[in-house]
Amino acid sequence: MSTRTNEPQPPPHNVDAERDYYAQPGEETEGRVYTATGGDWDQLVSAQAERGDELLVVNMGPQHPSTHGVLRLILEMEGETVRSARAGIGYLHTGIEKNMEYRTWTQGTTFCTRMDYLTPFFQEAAYVASVERLLDVEDQLTEKTKVIRIMLLELNRIASHLVCIGTGGMEIGALTVMTIGFRDREMILDAFEEITGLRMNHAFFRPGGLANQVGHKEIEKVKETVRWLHKHLPEYKSLCNANPIFLGRMQNVGYLDASACMALGITGPMLRSTGIDYDLRKAMPIWDYETYDFDVPVVDTCDAMGKFLVRQQEMWESLKIVEQCLERLEKMENDPVMIADQKIALPAQLAVGSDGMGNSNEHIKHIMGQSMEALIHHFKLVTEGFEVPVGQAYVPFESPKGEIGAHLVSDGGTRPWRAHFRDPSFNNLQAVAALCEGALMSDVVVAVASIDPVMGGVDR
């Protein structure tokens, strides 16, 4: 292993040096530096006391639970007051976007669903919608496909908000809010498992439709979940909305007004807590969202409490949409969930074998028994994928955290030339400094929780 001959050597043992031995060129004069390499800690403390201030740089994270994953916050503190706050990201980098460029268009859903692990269906929706726009097959989607997609998206919105409210409550001492939040989310994940086979990371949305049919048994499970949520969602209001301790920690904390949100490109509940009535389900509806009856909750407090109230009310509106989806599905029991174009539609009538792994013999016989041409087509579609015309597309969605969209570029091949996501957590984290500077350290926890960041979406 080679070493650089001009690399500075660390100071001798027991030396408190004002010179920064590890600074890059041009950084040597940026403030006073203390290098502790052993010795008496009291010497270091007394030298700091001579400065006459209490500035201290604190690393909050990247392992701290209140940073919602592996977010690193670099806080410059004066006593308990935050003078400077910066967000450090990149500790969960997965390379998902680059990996998608080496997989077929259908395989891409398996990657993007894992980005923000609390909102897998929204990544899938943004991705497949852009693929379908490139293919120009949006008008070929079946009604049942669109209804099921919206139903799953709105259930996913509730599940994401439950985690945001639950973990945010836990961090300020409201432990019961966390336990009931995860309890209710478990019911939604059980419904997801009934429909897709997985609790998370589903890859259920496919270009042109869905991975599997959704029948009576799955619909009944969703109805059971809706009944559960109707019974238990009121608990969050009774526990929090008039609790003086909860209000004291949330009100006038994490303040960010509408002009700051607009300047930073912030969307979702953070924007709607400033009084701005902007929701992509209303502003730019897709998959017939405009045919559903629901309201967009808005408050104008601009603080953490306002963001909490927006998310709380949004869960009820999502529940209304899910109920409307269930009514429509009652009339679509045997309708297809994949477009008719066999050049695009990856077989969507899979059947699991008796061992719970792989396909059943009946399904394999069906594929192989049609004709030699059908078998060849099936093999090529699965291994090589379909070609997408040259072009680029971006279709935005209103995720639980704000605007999400997949910008896909095709060079005419069987895989994306470029895949890039506009993840709301990434954009919303720009507000860390505005939310935290001038506040107390204890308020940083509340401010970050009000952003609701998930680092899987940030570090993709």
Chain segment 251-292, per-residue pLDDT in tens: 898 899 999 999 999 999 999 999 999 999 999 999 989 999
Q: Is residue 440 part of a domain?
A: yes
Region 332-352: mean pLDDT is 75
Predicted pLDDT at 336: 86
Q: In the predicted model, is pLDDT for residue 331 greater than 90?
A: no
CA atoms within 13 A on the CB side of 237: 13
- Which structural domain range is residue 106 located in? 96-342+360-458
Window from 106-110, 343-347, 352-356 with minimum mean pLDDT: 352-356
Contact 172, 445 (CB under 8 A): yes
* Alpha helix positions (H), 335-422: 361-370, 372-383
Region 222-243: mean pLDDT is 90
Predicted pLDDT at 68: 77
Percent of the chain at pLDDT > 70 equals: 83
Q: Is residue 47 part of a domain?
A: no
Contact 351, 363 (CB under 8 A): yes
Q: In the predicted model, is pLDDT for residue 345 greater than 60?
A: yes
What does each C-alpha distance from 204 to 210, 356, 412, 458 come to in angstroms?
6, 18, 25, 22
Q: Cα–Cα distance between 34 and 37 in angstroms, integer?
A: 10
* Per-residue confidence band for 3, with pLDDT thresholds at 50, 70 and 90: very low
Total tally of structural domains belonging to the chain: 1
Other C-beta atoms lying within 10 Å of the C-beta of residue 41: 9
Q: Is residue 48 part of a domain?
A: no
Nearest to 150 by CA among 295, 326, 340, 311: 326
Contact 94, 114 (CB under 8 A): yes
Q: Cα–Cα distance between 309 and 241 in angstroms, integer?
A: 8
* Per-residue confidence band for 400, with pLDDT thresholds at 50, 70 and 90: very high
Phi and psi at 170, nearest 5°, equal -60, -40
Contact 193, 187 (CB under 8 A): no
Chain segment 58-100, per-residue pLDDT in tens: 888 787 777 777 888 888 888 888 888 888 888 888 899 999 9
Q: Is residue 366 part of a domain?
A: yes
Q: Is residue 11 part of a domain?
A: no
Q: Is residue 50 part of a domain?
A: no
Strands 205-206 and 402-410, how do they pair? Answer: unpaired
CATH code for the domain in which residue 153 is found: 1.10.645.10
Q: Is residue 216 part of a domain?
A: yes
Predicted pLDDT at 299: 93
Q: What is the DSSP letter of 359?
A: B
Contact 267, 278 (CB under 8 A): yes
Q: Is residue 87 part of a domain?
A: no
